[in-house]
Chains A and B, each alone.
Chain A
Amino acid sequence: MTLLLDAFTIVAVSAGTFFFVAGTVGLLRFPDTLSRLHALTKADNLGVGLIVLGLLPQATSLGMGIRLIGVWLLVQLAGATVSQLLARAAARRNGART
């Protein structure tokens, strides 16, 4: 059972890391603010979710598991708000320019 859980953790965390790397590559390679944000928010949300999911079986207590989920929710909240703000600022800038 623990072997199965460990395998699950390894697969999920590796997949999460892969999405993080993909998002970062997008951030570095994409040409403009909006598509960079697109790469970052989509891939990183998936990455964080998978990593938290993968770590959940490793939680030693219920409190630890709840904390992990809390971290996930807060990252979601902060990520969603900041990307909204950045996207609006970028849209304003573009609007002012054209």
Chain B
Amino acid sequence: MTLLPLYYGLLALLVIGVAWWTLVARETMAAVIGFIAYGMLLGLVWAGIASVDVALTEAAIGGGVTGVLLLRAAARLRPTEPAPHEKPGLVFRVLVGIFCAIVTIGLAVVVLFPTDPAPSLAIAAAEHLPALELGNPVTAVLIAYRALDTMLEKVVLLLALIGVWSLGPDRNWGGLPGRAPAVVTDSALTFLAKLLPPIGIVFGVYLLWTSADNPGGAFQGGTVLAAMWILAMMAGLRAPPAIGSRALRLLLLSGTITFIVVGFAGFLIAGGFLSYPAAFPKALILLIEIPMTLTIAVTLGLLVSGPAERDKTS
């Protein structure tokens, strides 16, 4: 007899409760804070089904970084938040509610009565594990088995950043992202921003390093590094870089470029795009993962910072 089912039941109810609260909260700010809690709880859900890699990503990106992004937007739009205006009519809401309930029931049926046998690529992915010297199958899938997906995802991040930058006013192109931080320096925030980054940077690098055999990886490590950078920028200890800076752009591209170079080298060494040679794959994978982590960290930090809104000089 264990209490675990009780814990899972309470967790599921809590997730749904927080999600509901996020929807009905009157202030956007409160809703965003609810959303951050939701992200953390979803992380626990993922940990509950033995997917610790996903749990780390969900908590860090789904809850943390998305939370900061939305908090910033909510804070900026708050002064203009319209008074709780007319909601859509009751009939409309009931109809939408019925529609959403039908969707939920349909999905529940899929969960309760799954097809048999379950399709799976796990065996195909596991085949390559010994050759890769990787103990963590998720890292192996990300870096080797589905390397193309991971590479294209870097491209998606880059495209998103270009999209964000393009939305800034023309006159500021190449300038600093975001508004100037408030002049009032908050000693508590400064203290945290000075104390936490050394710990966070070590932890981020550790997450990358340990991902070969344990949960962790380039995304999780990169997100922790990005969080430290964002914290330093928020406290005004570090100015964000000018988006026109050449060094910055090189850093942004380094992850994708390394991936592409290694990919094409695969033609020469192992006879296919993104194929790895049998020897030294682990060193090779680290070679890909280190620039990838840096690129993820910088891109996430800049995505949160927003488009250029001031000149380089300001």
Residues of chain B contacted by A74 (CB below 8 angstroms): 199
Contacts between the two chains (Cβ within 8 Å), count: 16
Task: Determine whether B100 belongs to the interface, using a CB cutoff of 8 Å to chain A.
Answer: no
Query: Chain A's nearest CB lies how many Å from the CB of B124?
Result: 35
Task: Determine whether B170 belongs to the interface, using a CB cutoff of 8 Å to chain A.
Answer: no
Within 8 A of B (CB), among A46-98: 74, 77-78, 80-81, 84-85, 88
Residues of chain B contacted by A81 (CB below 8 angstroms): 188-189, 191-192
Separation of A74 and B196 alpha carbons in the complex (Å) = 9
Separation of A17 and B196 alpha carbons in the complex (Å) = 27
Query: Chain B's nearest CB lies how many Å from the CB of A4?
Result: 22
| A-side interface mostly | helix
Of B188, B195, B199, which contacts A84 at CB under 8 A? Answer: B188
User: Are B195 and A85 in contact, CB atoms less than 8 angstroms apart?
Assistant: no
Separation of A81 and B189 alpha carbons in the complex (Å) = 7
Residues of chain A contacted by B192 (CB below 8 angstroms): 77-78, 81
* Among all A-B residue pairs, the 10 with the closest Cβ atoms: A84-B188, A81-B192, A81-B188, A85-B188, A85-B189, A85-B186, A88-B186, A77-B195, A81-B191, A77-B192
The contact sample of 16 A-B pairs, CB cut-off 8 A, is A74-B199, A77-B192, A77-B195, A77-B196, A78-B192, A80-B188, A81-B188, A81-B189, A81-B191, A81-B192, A84-B188, A85-B186, A85-B188, A85-B189, A88-B186, A88-B188
